[in-house]
Amino acid sequence: MPKESKLILITGGTGKQGGAVAHELLAAGHRVRIMTRKPDSVPAKELASLGAEVVKGDLDDTSSLPGALRDVWGAFAVQNTWEAGVEREEVQGKQFAEAARAAGVQHYVYASVGSAHRETGIPHFENKARVEERVRELGFPSWTVLRPAFFMENFLSDDNRAAIANGELTLGIDPNTRLQMIAVEDIGKYGKLVFEQPERFNGRSLDLAGDELTMREVADTLSEIAKHPVTPAPTPIEQTREWSQDLAIMLEWFDAVGYNADIAANAKEFGIEPTRFAAWANRNAGAFATPATV
């Protein structure tokens, strides 16, 4: 079946992962449908201008799912823990997978998280592991799980950018802990690949990362780009715990265990050159400029 006749539905298309996958698929000439609660949003309109069909749908409203899934060959499913909460995200993930199976989706791609299968004890990793299990149980003709590591784009959050402008890298882990991370553009490339080669990736779960650095190394790179010194100044874990127990558990796991994607092996097998942090940061240099140098 030619790619022009295979309709691919993407949830979270106006967000980071879904947006990256949507852009890659559209650029390659695939038929893409975006499901969003806000079809009139700027990101939705941008995707529509690139050729995507945009439909209104809500992961919390199961009655909206059959229409969004109508005539769909493939589906990319991503949910947002920090928006939905751990319990609701799990419900959303399972409900959407069940709706996709009922709608006859042939190739289902679930965006999980790195090491979800390793019994991390991190609430928003464990719930994704349970969604993964439900996807396997449903018996899709073809399915793939993508498990990305820590997003490089997390350094672009308002809080992190403000801290970097003040010369501090505040991620609450030991400055010498090596942390695997990935640029969302790479998730987009893997998403495109698994939709283009479903037979090759059927039943596979891929842990993905593009670089592995300590926060000292990240700070050194950002110092060069921001044109002023940036040093690790990790937020105390108890302070983080007051805001989010889930986040604190994850940071402690980073220090104690950490992701284990095989970056080199992935690049060799799949032919996708990993985006290194320095290259990513240079492309986003404007975001790290201090007010005085903008």
Q: Report if residue 172 sits inside a domain.
A: no
CA pair distance 250, 179, nearest whole angstrom: 12
Q: Report if residue 167 sits inside a domain.
A: no
CA pair distance 110, 190, nearest whole angstrom: 12
Q: Report if residue 47 sits inside a domain.
A: yes
Query: 120 lies in which domain range?
Result: 3-150+182-209+260-273
* Per-residue pLDDT of the chain in tens (294 residues, 90 and over written 9): 456 679 999 998 899 999 999 999 999 999 999 999 999 999 999 999 999 999 999 999 999 999 999 999 999 999 988 888 899 999 999 999 999 999 999 999 999 999 999 999 999 999 999 999 999 999 999 999 999 999 999 999 999 999 999 999 999 999 999 999 999 999 999 999 999 999 999 999 999 999 999 999 999 999 999 999 999 999 999 999 999 999 999 999 999 999 999 999 999 999 999 999 999 999 999 998 765 444
| 14 token code pair | 């106006």
Q: Report if residue 223 sits inside a domain.
A: no
| Number of domains, the chain | 1
φ, ψ for residue 74, nearest 5 deg:
-130, 150
Q: Report if residue 244 sits inside a domain.
A: no
93 and 128 in contact (C-beta within 8 Å)? Answer: yes
Where in 43-183 does DSSP place strands (E)?
A: 53-56, 74-77, 107-111, 142-148, 150-151, 168-169, 179-182
Q: Report if residue 162 sits inside a domain.
A: no
| 27 token code pair | 């650029």
CA pair distance 217, 224, nearest whole angstrom: 11
Q: Report if residue 253 sits inside a domain.
A: no
CA pair distance 196, 198, nearest whole angstrom: 6
113 and 125 in contact (C-beta within 8 Å)? Answer: yes
Q: Report if residue 236 sits inside a domain.
A: no
* CATH code (residue 79): 3.40.50.720
CA pair distance 254, 240, nearest whole angstrom: 14
